[in-house]
């Protein structure tokens, strides 16, 4: 297990632990370099940075930007090494956040009409420490809390993915805008958990080429969402397209997802680690 985790979340977006708590948890698992990458939000970075210093852990400021690519595909782009106070980035992220409450209202209405589940709007909102950042994960936790579904993964499969009763399509940032904001803030843009998109070879290569044209530089090879086969596949993509490789747990909460914070797999030897920009690793 590696000691570098450059993708996880806190209560500033849809994580279950406060920024200081999630950093402490990562440190307790041996992490030596971490990046807090909350969705469309940098509000937790100051607290996380202070906690990292307290625990003697290297810290990289990050963000995960929601993107609509090729008109219909939702993907995520992580920004690492950003200036969280950059005005261009802040304005772009604010624009994304403004649409979240409207989407929640639509999701709640669809779940009531199509699945006879009520109370979703207020229930999900009550679980979001930052109301601007309410999202599908909060809806999933609400349904699990009511005992309607066994876990959050099952909620997504049954209700919150395309074609399911609670799924509501949404237009996020464009790929070019997201990468541009990250670069304006001095950061490195990274394609997050590509194995989750299930694009196939042609679409994956199109995404990578569009991403590189926009100024993107890296791809997550080791991810809490990736199998061993995924990791080796994206290591080969990174080598072929001259992308740096990143590693992140994508941790949101204890017991959710495939990997705890601070615990990521070692990159294959062919990879060029993105964190060489910040440490000699």
Annotation: CATH topology of 100-160: DNA polymerase; domain 1 (1.10.150)
What are the tens digits of pLDDT across the range 224-256? 999 999 999 999 999 999 999 999 999 999 988
Distance of CA 158 to the CA centre of its chain: 21
Query: What's the pLDDT tens digit per position in 116-136?
Result: 999 999 999 999 988 888 999
Residue 2 has pLDDT above 80, yes or no: no
Give me the mean pLDDT over the 210-221 stretch: 98
Phi first, then psi, for residue 218 (nearest 5°) are -150, 165
Q: Which of 24, 29, 7 is nearest to 248 (CA)?
A: 7
Is residue 84 over pLDDT 70?
Answer: yes
Q: Residue 281: pLDDT above 60?
A: no
Average pLDDT taken over every residue of the chain: 95
Instruction: Look up the CATH architecture of domain 4-93+174-277.
Output: Alpha-Beta Barrel (3.20)
Domain residue limits, the chain: 4-93+174-277, 100-160
pLDDT tens for each residue of 170-191? 889 999 999 999 999 999 999 9
What is the predicted pLDDT for the residue at 258?
72
Within this chain, domains 4-93+174-277 and 100-160 share the same CATH topology: no
**Own/partner long-range contacts of 91-98 (Cβ < 8 Å, ≥24 apart):** 92/65, 92/173, 92/177, 92/178, 92/181, 93/40, 93/41, 93/42, 93/63, 93/65, 93/181, 95/173, 96/40, 96/65, 96/66, 96/172, 96/173, 97/40, 97/41, 97/132, 97/133, 98/132
The predicted structure's pLDDT at residue 263: 87
pLDDT above 90 as % of the chain? 88
Query: What's the whole-number mean pLDDT along residues 57-75?
Result: 96
What distance in Å separates the CA atoms of residue 103 and residue 276, rounded to the nearest whole number?
39
pLDDT for residue 182: 98
What's the confidence (pLDDT) of residue 256?
Answer: 84
Whether residue 70 is predicted with pLDDT greater than 90 in this model: the reply is: yes
Q: Is it the case that residue 88 has pLDDT exceeding 60? A: yes
For residues 44 and 1, the model is more confident at 44
């Amino acid at each position: 297990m590696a000691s570098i985790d450059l993708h996880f979340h806190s209560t500033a977006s849809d994580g279950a632990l406060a920024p200081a708590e999630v950093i402490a948890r990562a440190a307790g698992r041996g992490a030596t370099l971490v990046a807090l990458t909350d969705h469309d939000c940098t509000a937790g970075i100051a607290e996380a940075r202070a906690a990292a210093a307290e625990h003697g852990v290297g810290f990289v400021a990050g963000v995960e930007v929601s993107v609509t690519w090729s008109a219909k595909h939702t993907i995520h782009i992580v920004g690492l090494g950003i200036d969280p106070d950059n005005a261009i980035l802040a304005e772009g992220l604010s624009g994304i956040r403004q649409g979240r409450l409207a989407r929640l209202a639509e999701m709640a209405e669809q779940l009531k009409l199509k699945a006879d589940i009520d109370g979703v709007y207020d229930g999900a909102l009550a679980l979001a420490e930052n109301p601007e950042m309410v999202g599908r994960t909060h809806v999933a936790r609400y349904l699990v809390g009511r005992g309607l579904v066994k876990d959050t993964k099952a909620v997504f499969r049954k209700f919150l993915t395309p074609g399911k009763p609670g799924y509501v399509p949404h237009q996020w940032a464009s790929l070019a805008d997201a990468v541009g904001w990250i670069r304006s803030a001095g950061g490195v843009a990274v394609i997050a958990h590509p194995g989750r998109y299930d694009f196939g070879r042609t679409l994956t290569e199109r995404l990578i080429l569009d991403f590189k044209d926009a100024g993107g530089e890296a791809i997550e090879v080791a991810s809490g969402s990736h199998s061993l086969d995924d990791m080796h596949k994206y290591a080969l993509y990174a080598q072929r397209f001259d992308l740096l490789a990143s590693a992140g747990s994508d941790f949101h909460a204890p017991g959710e997802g495939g990997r705890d914070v601070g615990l990521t797999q070692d990159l294959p030897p062919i990879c060029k680690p993105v964190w060489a920009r910040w440490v000699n690793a």
